[in-house]
Amino acid sequence: MGKDYGSHDNFQSLRYGCIMIMTDQDADGSHIKGLIVNFIQHFWPSLFDRQGFLKEFVTPIVKVTKRVGTSSKSETFFTLTEYKAWEDHLVNSGGDLQHYKIKYYKGLGTSTASEAKEYFSNLNRHVI
């Protein structure tokens, strides 16, 4: 506790090169994420000087799918604000939500195995 990881040798003594926070995208997950960040900042503030040490893995909170002929087109949203803006734009431009299947992801366990594979195969989109 309280160890300064500012020096190269101390940083090299860590067992891992980074920490990745994986919480739900809802308000509870956001609060948990904040608590983790505050915990690290309080006990090991020098870790924040290390570029890329603290990472976040984000997953969608809402996914909308619309059938187009024999295929389907999906769009994912990582915040409820993003989704609400999309929904407002659709409704204001004369679109109808009834043509869409809307899936709200309560937590990480709500994703299917194929969705999880998709997340991990596209890390550039999911790791911040």
Q: How far apart are CA 13 and CA 41, in angstroms?
A: 19
Q: What is the pLDDT of residues 18-45, one digit of tens each?
A: 999 999 888 888 999 999 999 999 999 9
Residue 50 bridge partners (DSSP): none
pLDDT band at 83 (very low <50, low <70, confident <90, very high): very high
Do 66 and 26 meet the contact criterion of CB atoms below 8 Å apart?
no
Mean pLDDT over residues 64-85, rounded? 88
Prediction pTM value: 0.75
Whole-number Å distance between alpha carbons of 10 and 24: 32
